[in-house]
Amino acid sequence: MCSSSGKRELFFFFPSLVADCGSPALNSNMEDDRLSDLPPNIVESILTRLPIREAVKTSILSRSWRYKWASLTKLVFDDNCVDSLGDFTKDIFVNFVTRCLFLHQGPIHMFKLSTSYLQYVPDIDQWILFLSRNDIKELVLELGEGEWFRVPSCLFNCSKLTRLELVNCELDPPPTFKGFPNLRILTLHQVLVAADAIESLISSCPVLENLSLSYFDSLAMTISAPNLKYLNLEGEFKDICLENTPALVALSVAMYMTDDIAEHFEQSSSCKFVKFLGGTPLLEHLIGQIYFTKYLSIGDYPATFSITYDRLKVIELYQVSFEDMKEILVVLRLITSSPNLRELTISGSSNTVASAVVTTDLDFWEEECPSDCTFGQLKSVKMTDLSCVPHELEFIKFILRNSPILETMRVSPSSYVKDKTVNMLMQLVRFRRASAQAELIFEHE
């Protein structure tokens, strides 16, 4: 089954792989004919499903397969590849990748380097230079924690890039960089980059559709991306402005709070709700994690501003403080501006921020909630980690009273308020329901 010349060549370039190849078990000519008759699309399908190490070993199957693997357009070097190399050392892995690229023929459309075993090695610069000359379209660099890998300037010459993912890297676009004209997906995780550099990078990708920024520290930035549809933000953001994102359909935000950022928020007077959600009319799915509603509550909401989220069907808000009147107003503003809302998930938080406006005035609900409000499409509501404070109950009452087709209302109190759960349940069952089929499910440990 093994081609002797192919095996000699494999030994020359990949000596560590030959030991696993074994000896021929069938007539080589017969196998050669069978394998040679496979259609090209089947061959490619087989090779793309194999780890790169196994794909390289197919070069000894027959003469016609000797260079099949070398024309793969997708190359993935990950921890599975590392594990299969036996007595692993960093040098063995680096040499393996280098030799694969050296023997490769034709374009490389996707290159993924994802391993915790590597941080910075100079060879990566050479790999990226090689890829920049081979029509690379998708590039993923996920390196281990430790020394930051400074992305070489040749990366910014990859004008055909459609997807770029960087983890544990340092990014510094050169002054001559004019953007990635074809980039649709950009993911930056624990990337060291200046605020103005990342703003410029985003705005210079005219067809960008999917953006994910995570684990950034004290970053204040403005995002301008007219074709952006999916946005994920996670980190210690001082300020975020969605200046030009009219096509956004899905948004997930988690904001971590430090003392410096909290002080910065207290000194701010601009309305964060308008700066962040004032220009996203096509939004369909909104996920607000920790401190998101707190952030949106900062500043005075302008009386003349109005927006309707006609397409917003799913809202998830976590760690909402129902002891803070401004956060409650943010929640009400969102749901009453979403006439086609179908699913609502809210988790409470008993942590009252020092600057919060605490209120027990239940007249607030008569004053702030529109009397003609109806959630005509709302079918599912889930309320978790509740502290049994009065405003949580008033909110549930408001939803039940104005949701004519509601099917389920799930309520789950926090484990820290066990002594209040019985009283909470007694009040819940008395609330009037606009929907005759609405089922109230009380989940308690």
Tens-of-pLDDT digits for all 445 residues of the chain? 444 444 444 444 454 454 454 444 444 454 455 666 666 667 666 666 666 666 666 666 666 566 666 778 888 888 777 555 555 577 888 888 898 888 888 889 999 998 877 777 889 999 999 999 988 999 999 988 877 889 999 999 999 999 999 999 999 999 999 999 999 999 999 999 988 999 999 999 999 999 999 988 778 889 999 999 999 999 888 888 999 999 999 999 998 876 666 666 666 668 889 999 999 999 999 999 988 999 999 888 888 888 999 999 999 999 999 988 899 999 999 999 999 999 999 999 855 333 344 445 667 787 777 778 899 999 999 999 998 888 999 999 999 999 999 999 999 998 887 778 888 888 999 999 999 999 999 987 6
What integer pLDDT is reported at residue 317 of this predicted model? 97
Cβ–Cβ < 8 Å for 349, 291: no
Cβ–Cβ < 8 Å for 334, 308: no
Picking from 362, 335, 357, the residue whose alpha carbon sits closest to that of residue 346 is 335
What integer pLDDT is reported at residue 12 of this predicted model? 41
In this structure, what token pair is assigned to residue 40?
Answer: 């090209």
What integer pLDDT is reported at residue 342 of this predicted model? 98
Strands (E) in 387-438, as ranges, are 408-413
Tell me if residue 200 falls in helix, strand or coil.
helix
Identify residue 162 by its one-letter amino acid code: T
What integer pLDDT is reported at residue 106 of this predicted model? 84
CA atoms within 13 A on the CB side of 357: 12
Write the DSSP symbol of residue 11: H
Cβ–Cβ < 8 Å for 360, 389: no
Cβ–Cβ < 8 Å for 322, 328: yes
Cβ–Cβ < 8 Å for 400, 427: no
Per DSSP, helices labelled H in 244-355 are 259-266, 272-277, 292-296, 325-336
Burial category of 323 from C-beta neighbours within 10 Å (exposed 0-12, middle 13-18, buried 19 and up): buried
pTM: 0.85
| Angle at CA of residue 89, ends 83 and 95, nearest 5° | 95
What integer pLDDT is reported at residue 40 of this predicted model? 65
What integer pLDDT is reported at residue 156 of this predicted model? 95
CA atoms within 13 A on the CB side of 433: 17
Cβ–Cβ < 8 Å for 81, 42: no
Identify residue 269 by its one-letter amino acid code: S
